[in-house]
C-alpha cells in the first residue's frame, strides 16, 4: 500500500498523486458506513491494482478542513475579491475571513480588477485595505489584465497548498491564468442581468502553480456559520480577540455587557466600526441558527 495526496475529486473518483504519478482511485465502502468523505487535499493510504487504478484504504488525520469549498490540509486561503464588478464588499470579506480564521487556515486577501478603478474609488478601496493591513492581514491589490501586483502574490504560493476562494465573477480563474498562462482556465464575463459571474469552475482540483499547489474552487456567494458558536466568534476577529482580555467579564460577547474593552476600542477608533457592525450581525445570525440535533 502507498501514501499519496488527493489532488482532484470528480464523479466518485479520487485522483491521488504520489511519487510514481497519478492514480485514479475509488473509496472503500467502509468510508460511507463511517461517514468519512475523502476530500481534495487529504493524505491517504491507497492500494493500487495497477499503475493507473486503485482503492483508498485510509484517510490520514487532517490538520484542517473547509466544508464549502470541500478541501483539507490547506496552508492558506487566498480570498479573492474584486474592487469592482462585482463591487467590493467588506461584509462578504469578513464573512469569508471568519470561516477561514475559525478553520485554523491563514488568510491572504487579494483584491482584483484594480484596472477598473477611478482615482477616487482606488483611494476608497485603499482605505479599507489599510484597515485590514493594520489588523495584521496580508493584502494585495492587483489586476490580472495589466498584471499590476501579480508578482507580489507569487512568493506566497511557493511550497504551500493554497485554496483560492471568493464570490463568483471576482476573477479567480483570470488570476490563475495570469500566474500560469498555460492553464488556460475558462473565464466568463459578468452577467449584466444577474450582476454576478457565471460559475466557470465545476469541481475542486489542486494544480501546480508558482512552486506550490493551488485549489481553484467553485464560486459561491453565501456562507453559513454552521460550525461556529457565539462565544467563539470574537476569536475570528483578531483585533477584537486582542483587546477582549481587558473586558471586565469573562465570556463577554461584546454586545450589551458593561465595561467591554471591545466596545471601548470601537469608540476610540482602534477597531473599524464596520467590522464591529459585521460582528454584531454575525453573532445574531449564530444565535438565530436552528439548533442541531
DSSP string over 41-106: T-EEEEEESSSSEEEEEEEPPPS-EETTTTEES-SEEEEEEESTTTTP-HHHHHHHHHHHHHTT-E
Residue 196 has pLDDT above 70, yes or no: no
Whether the CB-CB separation of 141 and 126 falls below 8 Å is answered with yes
Residue 234 has pLDDT above 90, yes or no: yes
* Angstrom distance (rounded) from CA 75 to CA 170: 22
The pLDDT tens digits for 63-110 are 998 876 788 999 999 999 999 989 999 999 999 999 889 888 999 999
The predicted structure's pLDDT at residue 240: 97
Mean per-residue pLDDT, 230-254: 95
Q: Which of the two residues, 286 and 188, has the higher pLDDT score?
A: 286
User: Average pLDDT over the chain, rounded to whole?
Assistant: 87
Dihedral angle computed from the Cα positions of residues 37, 39, 43 and 48, in that order, rounded to the nearest 10 degrees: 70
What does the angle CA 41 – CA 189 – CA 111 come to, to the nearest 5 degrees?
60
| Nearest of 244, 176, 180, 251 to residue 215 by alpha carbon | 176
The predicted structure's pLDDT at residue 165: 83
Write the CA distances from 157 to 83, 108, 152, 214, integer angstroms. Answer: 22, 11, 10, 8
What is the Rg, in whole angstroms, of the alpha carbon atoms belonging to the chain? 21
Work out the percent of the chain whose per-residue pLDDT is above 70.
89
Residue 30 has pLDDT above 80, yes or no: no
The predicted structure's pLDDT at residue 186: 67
Mean per-residue pLDDT, 158-172: 87
* Angstrom distance (rounded) from CA 236 to CA 172: 24
Mean per-residue pLDDT, 43-47: 93
Amino acid at each position: 500500500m502507498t501514501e499519496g495526496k488527493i489532488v482532484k475529486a470528480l464523479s466518485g473518483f479520487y485522483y491521488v498523486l504520489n511519487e510514481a504519478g497519478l492514480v485514479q482511485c475509488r473509496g472503500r465502502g467502509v468510508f460511507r458506513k463511517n461517514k468519512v468523505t475523502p476530500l481534495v487535499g487529504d493524505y491517504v493510504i491507497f492500494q493500487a491494482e495497477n499503475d493507473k487504478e486503485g482503492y483508498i484504504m485510509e484517510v490520514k488525520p487532517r490538520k484542517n478542513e473547509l466544508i464549502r469549498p470541500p478541501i483539507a490540509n490547506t496552508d492558506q486561503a487566498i480570498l479573492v475579491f474584486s474592487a469592482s464588478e462585482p463591487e467590493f464588499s467588506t461584509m462578504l470579506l469578513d464573512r469569508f475571513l471568519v470561516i477561514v480564521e475559525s478553520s485554523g487556515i491563514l488568510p491572504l486577501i487579494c483584491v482584483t480588477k484594480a484596472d477598473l478603478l477611478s482615482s477616487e474609488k482606488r483611494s476608497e478601496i485603499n482605505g479599507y485595505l489599510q484597515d485590514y493591513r493594520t489588523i495584521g492581514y496580508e493584502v494585495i491589490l492587483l489586476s490580472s489584465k495589466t498584471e499590476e501586483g501579480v508578482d507580489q502574490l507569487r512568493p506566497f504560493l511557493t511550497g504551500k497548498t493554497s485554496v483560492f476562494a471568493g464570490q463568483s465573477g471576482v476573477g479567480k480563474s483570470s488570476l490563475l491564468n495570469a500566474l500560469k498562462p498555460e492553464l488556460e482556465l475558462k473565464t466568463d464575463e459578468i452577467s449584466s442581468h444577474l450582476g454576478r459571474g457565471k460559475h466557470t469552475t465545476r469541481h475542486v482540483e489542486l494544480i501546480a502553480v508558482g512552486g506550490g499547489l493551488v485549489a481553484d474552487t467553485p464560486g459561491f456567494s453565501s456562507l453559513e456559520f454552521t460550525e461556529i458558536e457565539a462565544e467563539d466568534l470574537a476569536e475570528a476577529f483578531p483585533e477584537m480577540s486582542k483587546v477582549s482580555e481587558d473586558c471586565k467579564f469573562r465570556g463577554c460577547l461584546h454586545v450589551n455587557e458593561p465595561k467591554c474593552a471591545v466596545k471601548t476600542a470601537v469608540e476610540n477608533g482602534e477597531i473599524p466600526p464596520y467590522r464591529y457592525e459585521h460582528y454584531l450581525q454575525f453573532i445574531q445570525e449564530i444565535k438565530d441558527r436552528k439548533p442541531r440535533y
